[in-house]
Amino acid sequence: MIVKNCVLITSVVSCLLLSIHSEVQAQSIDSYEDYKLYCSRGAFDYGLQSPDCSQYKDTYENRPQEELKQQDTRQEENTHSQTNNNNSEAKTKNIRGYVGGSLGAFFPTNDLDLLNLDDDSEIDEDIEEEDINESDFELDLDTGFGGSLFLGAMFNNNVGTDLEFILFGGGTEIDDLNYSEWGIFFNPRFIQPLSKQNNVAVFLSPGLGLSKGKLSTEISDELAEELGVEQGLELSVADDISFTLQVKLGLTFKLADKYEGFTQVRYVHPIGDYTIDTISPEVGLLVNF
C-alpha cells in the first residue's frame, strides 16, 4: 500500500514538473527581466532555459555592466549633490547676524583750530600782518559723551562686518558754545576667541566712513530780542562733512545664549579742516540672531 502511494505521488509531481517545464519553454522573452530569469545559469542547470536565449544574447548580454555604470553614475551624482547641499547648508548656518550698541565718554585729543574753520577766511593774512599769536585762536574742547548703534553679520567665528552710526558731543571753554559730531562707518570685524567655549574673545575693527561735525550756540533771549530774531535760534559754524577713519579694539564676553557684553576703546580721526580726533572708552551690548 505504501509503495502504491509513493508511486502515485511521484507520478503527480512528475506531471507538475513537465507542465511547468512546458509552460516555461513556451514563455517568450519580452524584457530584460525575462532574459535574466529564463537564460540564467540556474535555468540552464534545471532545464528551464528558454530556447530564445541565443536570439536575445546580443541585445541583453552587456546590460548588467551598463546598469552598474549607470548606478555608479547616479550614486556619484547623488553624493556630489548631497555634498554640495551639505556645504551650502553649513555655510548658511555659519553666517549669523548681530545688532548692538555702545555708550562712552569721548576725549578730544586736540584743540580746535579756529583759523581753519573757513577756507575763504582772511584771518590768516591778518595774523601774518599783525604778528598775532595763532595759539590764541585754538579752542579747548571738553570731554564729550555719546554712543553708537550697529548692525552686521559674522561669516564664521573669526570674520564679520557691520554698518555703524555714532553720535557724540560736548562743551567748550566758551560758555554756550558746544561741539557735536556724527558719523556712519563700514567696519570689518576680526575676532580671536580666547577660550574653547568662545566665552571670551578679543576683537579688532578698523572702519572707514563719513562724519559731520559742527560748533553751535544758542542765541540768548536778550540778544534774540535785540536782533529781532526768533528766540532759541541756534547758530552753527564749521559744519563740514569729512572722510573719517576709525579703529576699535575690545573684548567680548558671553552673557547668555545670544547676548554678549563688550568693552572697547575707539579712536576716530576725521580728514579735513574741521577735525576733532577723539579717543573713547565704551561699554556695550551685542545680540546675535
Q: Indicate the domain borders of the chain.
A: 2-87, 96-288
Q: Is 248 exposed, middle or buried (0-12, 13-18, 19+ CB in 10 A)?
A: buried
CB under 8 Å to 108, separation ≥6 — which residues? 141, 142, 143, 144, 170, 276, 277, 278
Instruction: State the Cα–Cα distance between residues 248 and 276, nearest whole angstrom.
Output: 17
Can you list the alpha helix ranges (DSSP code H) found in 95-248? 123-130, 221-227
CATH code given to domain 96-288: 2.40.160.20
Q: Which residue has the cell 563700514?
A: 186
Residue 19: Cβ-neighbour burial (10 angstroms; 0-12, 13-18, 19+): exposed
Cell of 281: 572708552
Grid cell in block for residue 143: 570731554
- pLDDT at residue number 214: 82
**According to the model, what pLDDT value does residue 92 have?**
55
Instruction: Output the pLDDT for position 98.
Output: 98
- What amino acid occupies position 103? L
- 8 A C-beta contact, residue 276 and residue 213: yes
| Rounded Cα gap, residues 108 and 269, in angstroms | 10
Report pLDDT for 177: 82
pLDDT at 30: 75
Contact 183, 210 (CB under 8 A): yes
| Positions in the chain short of pLDDT 50 | 3-4, 6-8, 10-26, 118-135
